[in-house]
Amino acid sequence: MIYDLIGVGFGPANIALAIALEEEGLRGQHLFLERNAGPGWQENMMLAGSDIQNHPLRDLVTPVNPRSRYSFTNFLHEHGRLFEFLNLGITYPLREEYAQYVRWAADAFKGSVKYGVEVQDINIADDATAGGQSHYVVRTSQGVFRARTLIVAPGRSPNIPTMFEPLLGREVFHLTQYRPRIDALANTLQKGGSMAVVGASQSGVEIALDLERRFPAATVHCVIRSYGYRLKDTSPFSDEIYFPEFVDYYFNASTQNKARLNEELRYTNYSSVDADVLHQLYLTRYQHRLCGSERLQVHQNVQILEAKHSGSRISLNLHNEVSQDSGRLEVDGVVLATGFKNFGRGGKEELFHPLLKNLVAHLQVDEQLGVLVNRDYSARVADGSSIPALFLNGLCESTHGFGDAGSFSLLSLRAREIARAIAERKTFRPASEVAHA
């Protein structure tokens, strides 16, 4: 069988696409492949009291269809919590509630999703049984699947600093593995162990606070390269980067001006922390100092020169770039709150997602921006090549701007644009044709 469409991944990006396909009347033979065992969103970062960082109406569908049954408002209504939520008086919903909303929306499409399927590689083939039609061959942990159109939405790769790569495992792990890994270290930390949290992101602060609350006898070391944690840029003028108009503005900018915008606006989304979370960390550290405790420490302006095993612990050699002081820190574990890789050329970047490695020869790749994409999120084909329709859903920050950086802000608009681009290519049969097939 050759599907009209296969979507790699079924996180928020492709859930929004599934909604868009339905609401645009495109119901051909399609399938989503998700490596996790079931629907979810940031499952390992469901920390007590943590909230999301976008307005709740910037959900999977509301910005393009406020009357949709898949909206966050309708989710609250169907669960009998709408008035209670309105009575909370909060700007941002709890992360756990938004995760429930994502699972609720995903469950509506469970007939079109295979969970627990790891995509291993993707190739292109011509099949004589399909009249020589070129299509994608998706090899997975549960067999081979074929499709005329491919949507790649696996999320970005975790950014792992090189020195930590050989140490990854029980004691050293990326924030995406936080909950199960920290449970494995619980016995040590309950007896007075210590953890290092590397990175100055919002997640880094949330994890430090969670460790401090969860393990009252443990010491938490926050290791950051900057002098202090930076307050997130929440200026309403800066936040216009999450307007649909900014996508066109950014897309049409030169490579040099894209870099300029990235530098100017990066603190709207990266290496910065919401004010309430930042104040909570500062107050918690102050409260410890009132009691003569150094159980929550912040190591500022510090570079980690070396990381290695020291018996059952992890040893970090630290160097303060300003004072030129050096020292060694031994901890029982390290959480890497070091973010995710972007696309392009640079220290935290990769030219393309690893799943595209067999397709890159057919694509245009820019040394600064990575895989080039068109305005409708379709991959740009190299001269002399011809490939079936390929869309990158949530992997286009280097060409489309900050609204493509894993945020919900423009998720629904991107999904609708992709759905309409698919319809224009006429490779995905409308609902009326499928009903009579």
Domains delineated in the chain = 2-157+341-435 (3.50.50.60), 162-232+272-336 (3.50.50.60)
Q: Is 8 helix (H, G, I), strand (E, B) or coil?
A: strand
pLDDT at residue 67, rounded to an integer = 96
Average pLDDT, integer, range 185-191: 95
pLDDT band at residue 100 under the 50/70/90 scheme: very high
- CA nearest neighbour of 390 among 186, 147, 128: 147
Residues 6+ apart with CB under 8 A from 164: 172, 307, 334, 336
pLDDT band at residue 436 under the 50/70/90 scheme: very low
Q: Give the pLDDT confidence of 368-397 residue by residue, as tens digits.
A: 888 999 999 999 999 988 899 999 999 898
Q: What are phi and psi of 90, to 5 degrees?
A: -105, 150
Residue 37 · residue 103 · CB < 8 Å: no
Is residue 437's pLDDT more than 80?
no
Average pLDDT, integer, range 107-132: 86
Average pLDDT, integer, range 54-74: 96
pTM, rounded to two decimals:
0.92
Q: Give the pLDDT confidence of 196-213 residue by residue, as tens digits.
A: 999 999 999 999 999 999
pLDDT band at residue 295 under the 50/70/90 scheme: very high
Look over the chain and give the mean of its residue pLDDT values, rounded to a whole number: 92
C-alpha distances out from residue 430 to 15, 29, 61, 313, 426, Å: 19, 10, 20, 58, 9
pLDDT at residue 132, rounded to an integer = 63
pLDDT at residue 36, rounded to an integer = 94
Residue 336 · residue 174 · CB < 8 Å: yes
Q: What percent of the chain has pLDDT over 70?
A: 95
Torsion of CA 236, 239, 245, 250, to 10 degrees: 130
pLDDT at residue 369, rounded to an integer = 83
pLDDT band at residue 78 under the 50/70/90 scheme: very high
Q: Give the pLDDT confidence of 158-182 residue by residue, as tens digits.
A: 999 999 999 999 999 999 999 999 9
C-alpha distances out from residue 264 to 241, 261, 401, Å: 11, 5, 12
